Chain A
Amino acid sequence: MAKRYDLRVYPGFRAVTFLCLFVLYAPLVVVMVYSFNASPSITNWEGLSLRWYADVFTGPESAKFKAAARNSFVIALVAASVATAIATLSATAILRGGRFRLRLVSFGLISLPLMVPEIVTAVATLIFFNAIGFDRGLLTILLAHIAFCIPFAYLPIAARMQGIEDTYEQAAMDLYATRRQAFVRVLLPLMMPGIVSGFLLAFIVSLDDFIITNFVKGAGVETLPTAIFGSVKQGIRPNIMAISTMLLAVSVVMVTLSWLISRRDTTR
């Protein structure tokens, strides 16, 4: 049975797999390798060096990158925290609020932004801010990030909550806990892996976002992705590769953490 439907026995499976992996990862490998190049050229290899990493922190563009990095991390931290809080409450309402009429609609609305092309969201957000006469700056970036991070935080949290039987809360209420106490003392701790995982995912999505940020940011306010883009427009220097590699490392660590934490089963 299992064998007949096993993808691995299909002809060409191996070749296609390797092609996909190559297309996906070869550019990343090139960037990572060349970030350690001693040469200012981005094509000639002249030996191992950390000089471009040093350049990021001390070079002519360092002030710009430091400011952008600070903005990026502050925005990611705040946006992910707020989005996670909203996602947790939404999941509780949608999954534990009984059968209210707009339940399906609510779920659809929450996850819709995942399916809308990002450029559409970006334009719409920009038009919205213009329409209400909101000055573009750090705050507009933050608000936009909170909005589009919610579905990313919501998915792992909801998945986790669905795996928690409601007998735990019933047991808590049976033992004289109010609804609120049952939520805080029982449901929330059990959901923690999902919440942390949702937070990390939202954090990464916010940290890496370019399109929406580029639309809604004010003049002179940069995040890392927009700063990198601005710098690349002047021509690619290896310090960009160093920054990209560091950003990649942060993403990999966070995504791995998120995965590990969501896998941890506190109900066992």
Chain B
Amino acid sequence: MSDERAAAIDVRDAVKRYGDFTALKRISLSIADNEFFTLLGPSGCGKTTLLRMIAGFEDVTEGAIFLFGDEIETLPPHKRPVNTVFQNYALFPHMTVQENVGFGLEMLGRSRAEARARAGEMLEMVQLSQFAARKPAQLSGGQQQRVALARALAPQPKVLLLDEPLSALDLKLRKAMQLELKHLQRDTGITFIFVTHDQEEALTMSDRIAVMSAGEVQQLGTARDIYERPRNMFVADFIGETNLLEVHVDRIAEGRALCHLGGGHALSCDAVDGVGVGARVHLSVRPERLALSAAAQGDESLAGTVREHVFVGTDITTLVDLAGGISLRVRSANSARASAQMFEPGAAVHVTMEQGAGRLLVD
């Protein structure tokens, strides 16, 4: 029985094996209705495999997939109310743009007239009405991408799957399409499952992100969660830029952990489950949450020397060497340059971590 309050997609203990190679190791995900959900991970981690299992092009070796409470594993692709925007678009080259967009409705048994009318509406939505009579080959990459989107949305699927739809576009167009996609998702209310290996894209667009690696979900959460509270080394390293410091946990009291960095330096941060006193783990600190000053600010300031500055457009990254061979990246906004003091390479500085910015990582 289909249940409107059930999750749009519920993946339960899904395993995918190709021969003796395991592409997905027991994945469980629950994706809510109307959600913009992103699968993020490096090449080969199994994102496409998972998407193809939901679409029905790969069978599930173990486990089950539910769509609004109905198990869909036994349904062939054409019976699943799920549409895909393929990575290479896969627009039918022998059909016009309009025929491409109307194809799904025609296959659903709607009249040709209705399919045409709906295709017209969809093309208007993606601002391609004037290209309706063209063949896909006569469109630019960005236009083809929008046709693929219109084609997948035309039959009003319950869930839209997008496999790296923006990866073939140049940076500027990609940014524009990111916004467009996000608005489209909000306006249509359709659940989007979006695949990308671009962490920035994932952070800007998603309601929730599943970070994957080697066939496993490493962390599941909002963009903020994942960026600010990475669970393990892989996530901290994969998402954004970070300082990974080897630390020794000395003491845990009232939810705070005191960690030694070596070289006589110490920092305190929130304790996390799975990291106890005496553990040797990594501490992740985002470079924008460190600040430089001439004098020590409080008792946790770390004394060091400036090695060099790296200009990265809006920001400046300063590399600071601490005693004990530790080096830190500190990032400050370029706009703050007038007010902040600039330190020349070789200058002695203190690095202070913002309260709560340090994150202990399991494994």
A residues bordering B, Cβ < 8 Å?
A: 165, 167-168, 170-178, 181, 185-186, 189-190, 266-268
Contact = CB atoms under 8 A, between A and B. Distances in A.
Cβ-closest 6 pairs across A and B:
A175-B104, A171-B90, A176-B107, A167-B90, A173-B77, A177-B107
Contact of B88 (A167, A178, A189): A167
A190 B93 contact: yes
A171 B84 contact: yes
Interface in B68-125: 76-79, 82-84, 86, 88, 90-94, 103-104, 107-108
A173 B77 CA distance: 6
B137 interface: yes
Contacts of A170: 57, 77, 84, 86, 90
Contacts, number: 61
A176 B92 contact: no
A174 B84 contact: yes
Contacts of B83: 174-175
B103 A175 contact: yes
A168 B322 CA distance: 57
Interface residues of B, number: 25
A181 B91 CA distance: 16
A76 B91 CA distance: 37
A212 to B, nearest CB: 37
A173 B76 contact: yes
Contact of A175 (B79, B88, B94, B151): B151
A249 to B, nearest CB: 32
Nearest to A170: B57
A175 B93 contact: no
A181 B94 CA distance: 15
A167 B104 contact: no
24 contacts: A167-B86, A168-B90, A168-B93, A170-B57, A170-B84, A171-B84, A171-B86, A171-B90, A171-B91, A173-B76, A173-B78, A174-B83, A174-B152, A175-B83, A175-B103, A175-B151, A176-B78, A177-B78, A177-B103, A177-B107, A181-B107, A186-B92, A189-B94, A268-B137
Nearest to A268: B137
Chain A interface SS verdict (over half)? helix
B103 A172 contact: yes
B14 interface: no
B17 to A, nearest CB: 16
A177 to B, nearest CB: 5
B94 A190 contact: yes
Given A186-B92, A190-B93, 8 more contacts: A167-B86, A170-B57, A170-B84, A170-B90, A174-B152, A177-B107, A178-B78, A267-B93
Residue from the set A176, A178, A190 with the largest chain B CB neighbour count within 10 Å: A176
Contacts of A177: 78, 103, 107
B90 A175 contact: no
B155 interface: yes
B93 A174 contact: no
A181 B76 CA distance: 14
Contacts of B155: 175-176
B11 interface: no
Contact of B92 (A171, A173, A178): A171
Interface in B122-143: 137
A15 to B, nearest CB: 45
Interface in B256-311: none
Contacts of B247: none
B325 to A, nearest CB: 49
Nearest to A174: B84
Interface in B7-38: none
A266 B86 CA distance: 19
B86 A176 contact: no
B93 A266 contact: yes
Nearest to A168: B90
A131 B57 CA distance: 49
A174 B77 contact: yes
A108 B137 CA distance: 36
Contacts of A266: 93-94
B55 interface: yes
